[in-house]
Amino acid sequence: MAVATKTSFILSSISCLLLFSSMQIWKTWLASSSQNTLLGGVLGSFLFTFSLTAIGNLETLILGKSYNLGLFPEVILSFIVAVLAAASVHRVAGTSCLLLSLLALFYINKFSQKVYAQVVPQQIPTGKKKKN
């Protein structure tokens, strides 16, 4: 179910804040075993997705609907925040967050191209050439 841009910004910002604080509160538990460490990386990639959504919605609210997210600074900023948050839990969590965030970015881009890409009609050549 789609929500308005302002509501999406608020929800994704709250999700970022709760996820980051939860990762810091349960830092010792997340670093206690290998499965928990990988869970820390997954949580970091969710943090990346939520922060990217929050930044995109904020820019849409401020700059208008026609503004698109770019690789720099929006995606890079979200990426650095997520990887640093996961790496503060454990280095392996930071590495798995890095890989899972790149995978999430690939699928976010693929979905965005499918939904928002404009189809440009191409002219089909008739096969006839002009004589001079």
Look at residue 18 and tell me whether its pLDDT is greater than 80: yes
In the chain, which ranges are continuous DSSP H helix?
A: 5-25, 27-30, 34-63, 76-89, 91-116
Task: Give the residue-averaged pLDDT of 57-73.
Answer: 89
- Residue 104 confidence (pLDDT): 96
- Residue 121 confidence (pLDDT): 78
Distance separating alpha carbons of residues 56 and 50, to the nearest angstrom: 10
- Residue 130 confidence (pLDDT): 66
Distance separating alpha carbons of residues 75 and 30, to the nearest angstrom: 26
Q: How many CB atoms lie within 10 A of CB 27?
A: 15
Query: How do the domains of the chain map onto residue ranges?
Result: 5-110
What one-character DSSP code corresponds to residue 72? Answer: I
Summarised one tens digit per residue, pLDDT across range 103-125 is: 999 999 999 889 888 777 777 77
- Residue 116 confidence (pLDDT): 80
With CA atoms as reference, report the closest residue to 53 among 20, 93, 7, 1: 7
Cα three-residue angle 77-36-103, rounded to 5 degrees: 40
Summarised one tens digit per residue, pLDDT across range 70-105 is: 888 999 999 999 999 999 999 999 999 999 999 999
Look at residue 131 and tell me whether its pLDDT is greater than 80: no
44, 50, 52, 53 alpha-carbon torsion, rounded to 10°: 170
Q: How many CB atoms lie within 10 A of CB 114?
A: 8
What one-character DSSP code corresponds to residue 33? Answer: S
- Residue 132 confidence (pLDDT): 63
